[in-house]
Structure 1
Amino acid sequence: MSDKLLPPLCSNGEVLARVQGVVGLITLNRPQALNALSLAMVRDITTLLLHWGSCPQVQAVVFIGQGREGKAPAFCAGGDIRFFHQAALAQDPRLEDFFTEEYRLNHLIHEYTKPTIALMDGVAMGGGMGLAQGCKLRVVSDQSRLAMPETHIGLFPDVGGGYFLSRCPGHAGQWLALTGQVLGAGDAIELGLADVYVPQGEMPGLLAALHEGEQNSAERVVATVMERVDLAPPLQHWVEQARINKHFSAPNVHELLHRLEADTSPWAAHTLAVLRQRSPLMLAVTLEQLRRARGQGLAQELRMERDMVHHCFHARPGAASETVEGIRALAVDKDHAPRWNPATSDEVHEAQVAVFFQSPWATHEHPLRDLS
């Protein structure tokens, strides 16, 4: 293989790359962290895509998550939230760099001119969804676990989450965004967040074919996947479509909680309990995000998210941030007892939500101003 096909990488092996025939293979190689994205990984993936975009030999790109021996697979569990916590408290400018460069990468994948394939085998959440949702072919297996769980840490579904969740059928996007519900293969395909299902038993053969097979055209790469596709498993969660659409069409979080309280079903009781664990402020922010995103193109929506994530860490800086507090409770102190402020949805005011949608940058200064 020509060295010209592999540009220098900076992540110390957290991203592995190779070219097999005409396919560029990108392996996220941070298995002990469920392949969560670091800034160096974001930069390496961007470097590879830009380089391969201009290489005639590379006709398709495949994203894979490195597995752990004896453990369930993982595609990518999201961004490195421990880094977010440390960087926010230390006022580390790399935190701003991370989100700017990650959102640029999300846009690059959506707009990439060559076929891209994501093998979402195992956990695919947050930043992993940001990588996968822009791909032309999104593959799920028996062990796929898809979610946008950001409200659990006082954040909102970013990485283009407003864009792709707002385009789910009915009010599924609001349900997924607010609750962070985890989906298996059948639900993911039904809701438009995956394209095809490959049974777990076919995954080793698929990986072997991609790494070692004669991939001599982009069409052959796609066919290598499609030859192993089967009917998706039955729905697990979207069977509650009627209830989801009824309740999550609520105009605000207060009304949503009221509707769930009036529903005596076990599903409603569970959903209500989940929402009561989330940041009331960020639930309201997320609902507004989804509303606005329906009328936006991808670039515009990513610019909005970049404004929003800035405010997540700077509107109330340091430990006062809802996001810093949410990460503390989940991943740092692990007491699972976040101290949200405001503590209830009744205490959330429109002005507090509006702050997140005010850009801190002039139009010509926005860090994502050139996305189109």
Structure 2
Amino acid sequence: MNETIDEIHIERARGIGFIALDRPKALNALSTPMIHAIHGALDAWRDDESVHAVVIYSRHGRAFCAGGDVRFLYQSAKAGEREAIDEFFTDEYQLNHAIFTYPKPYIALLNGVVMGGGMGISQGARHTGGLRVVTGSTRMAMPETRIGLFPDVGVSWFLARTPGAIGRYLAATGATIDAADALYAHLADVYMDEDELAALVGTLKQQSFASGGEVVRFIEGEGRPDAGGESELARNRAYIDKHFASGNGAACLKSLESATSGAEHEWAAHVAAELRERSPLSIDVSLELIDRAKTSTMAETLRRDLGLTRATFHHGDVMEGIRARIVDKDNQPKWKVTHVEHVTPEAVLRMFESPWAEAGHPLGHLAD
């Protein structure tokens, strides 16, 4: 199976299915055709005994995938096309679930920007027996609170399983982490030097493998388990656990602003300033989302995400966030709730009310 559309190239070689993201001007942000092409390839290879593993990578150094196509979503919402928004997220989340439950090793080579939807098409790799490979250029984040959204695409499931309070911290702040941080937080598995990725893909296309496990072991042998540098998350772990272990955004912010000692005060002041720029409602929704994901399956997580997308576009901050950060770029969003201290529990719970009954949910067929 070899297929090329404008934004993606799919081929099979030496027992491996290759998916190359190729939308450089948009940093490989996922469009609907890209989502359908990836899912179609996975379906075609699922029961093909000649395909032992899947490798997804970018053809460009700046990014693996910067997320979903938020401009499309914004324009659809402005035009009142709610069904188009529901369809995009439904298709995307079905792909995320297909990756998470894939019966063969799925291997993601994560160079450059890896955000939002890019996390959604990569984090499930570990669950398949595959790998998440990071490099010196990797910059990973779920920055959704910055645009009034929340960590969707099932990533709350992974954030909920990071050490200590790291998941809550990353969800609330949308902080960007590097390769060393990703490995420390269990959001990556193997480190490789940036200039080795292209050679790795070339070798995988030339060398024969008898099984998916053999592919995985080969890649592990080509990389190493650490990035060779100190993780900032590890260095600040005590602070993260102290200030983000529990509570809503107001509680976390109060804790941060009470820090008075030198290094802790400097770190806490920086993080508090970041939180003050985020959507207050989105911060509380994101923290609640991580807490709920701790006891959820991936299918349950994705169903919850889909309901939340409807809520954020209907009565949340995402339209204003996209306008301010991406469309007009004035960076002056006017959030519906202006201070995190003013977010009510009722407003947060309202966001989690699903517009679908259990029997009629668009993702009701998903099972882990």
**TM-score class, shorter:** over 0.9
SS of the residue aligned with 1:50? helix
Aligned to 1:198: 192
The answer to whether the Cα contact below 8 Å between 1:147 and 1:182 also exists between their aligned partners in 2 is: yes
1:206–1:224 Cα contact (<8 Å) kept: no
Query: Which has the larger displacement, 172-181 or 345-354?
Result: 345-354
1:337 to 300, 323, 332: 332
Aligned to 2:309: 309
Equivalent residue number for residue 125 of structure 1: 115
> 1:54-98, CA deviations, whole angstroms, 9 ceiling, x for partnerless residues?
21211110000120xxxx431101101111111111122221101
User: Is 1:177 the counterpart of 2:171 in the alignment?
Assistant: yes
The CA deviation at 1:119 is 0.2
Give 1:42's aligned residue. 35
Distance 2:160 2:274 in 1: 21
Secondary structure of 2:232's counterpart equals coil
Residues in 2 aligned to 1:224 and 1:311: alpha-carbon distance in whole angstroms: 44
Cα 1:249–1:171 change in 2 (3 A) is same
For 1:295-318, what per-residue CA distance to the aligned partner results, in whole angstroms no more than 9, with x for missing partners?
Answer: 11111111111111111112x2xx
Amino acid aligned to 1:182: T
| Cα offset, 1:161, TM superposition | 1.7
State the alpha-carbon separation in 1 of the partners of residues 305 and 186 from structure 2.
Answer: 21
Does residue 98 (structure 1) correspond to residue 88 (structure 2)? The answer is: yes
Q: How many residues align?
A: 356
Q: Which residue of 2 aligns with 1:242?
A: 238
Aligned-partner SS, 1:276? helix
Give the whole-Å Cα distance in 1 for the aligned partners of 2:59 and 2:198: 12
- For residue 312 of structure 2, what is the amino acid of its counterpart? C
- Residue 359 of structure 2 corresponds to residue 359 of structure 1: no
CA deviation after TM superposition for structure 1 residue 219, in Å: 3.5
Report the Cα distance in structure 2 between the residues aligned to 1:336 and 1:207, rounded to whole angstroms.
39
Amino acid aligned to 2:14: G
Residue among 209, 212, 216 paired with 1:218: 212
Paired residue for 1:87, among 44, 67, 76? 76
Measure, in 1, the Cα distance between the counterparts of 2:36 and 2:80.
Answer: 21
- State the Cα RMSD in Å: 1.4
Structure 1 residue aligned with 2:297: 297
Q: In structure 2, what is the Cα distance between the partners aligned to 1:212 and 1:325? A: 49
Give the letter for the 1:176 counterpart. Answer: L
Equivalent pair of 1:35/1:66 in contact (CA under 8 Å): no
Task: Name 1:275's counterpart in structure 2.
Answer: 275
Q: Within 2, Cα distance between the matches of 1:241 and 1:75?
A: 27
Unpaired runs of at least 5, structure 1: none
CA displacement at 1:202 relative to structure 2: 2.0
More deviation in 171-180 or 262-271?
Answer: 262-271
Q: Deviation string for 1:85-135 (max 9, x for gaps)?
A: 111111222211010111111111010001110001111111000111101
Question: Residues 249 and 341 of structure 2 are in contact (CA less than 8 Å); yes or no, is this contact kept in structure 1?
Answer: no
Match of 1:30 in 2: 23
Equivalent residue letter for 1:344: H
SS of 1:19's equivalent in the other structure is strand
Aligned to 2:47: 54
State the one-letter code of the partner of 2:120: G
> CA 1:266–1:212 in structure 2 vs 1: closer, same or farther (change >3 Å)?
same
User: Deviation of residue 215 (structure 1)?
Assistant: 4.2
Aligned to 1:61, what secondary structure does the other structure show? strand
**Counterpart check, 1:158 vs 2:155:** no
Matched-pair identity in %: 43
Q: Which amino acid aligns with 1:151?
A: T
| TM-score calculated relative to the size of structure 1 | 0.92
Structure 2's unaligned 5+ residue stretches are none
After TM superposition, the runs of 4+ consecutive aligned structure 1 residues lying more than 3 A away are 211-217
In the superposition, the TM-score normalised over structure 2's length comes to 0.93
Distance 2:303 2:73 in 1: 20
CA contact (8 A) 1:36 1:80 kept: yes
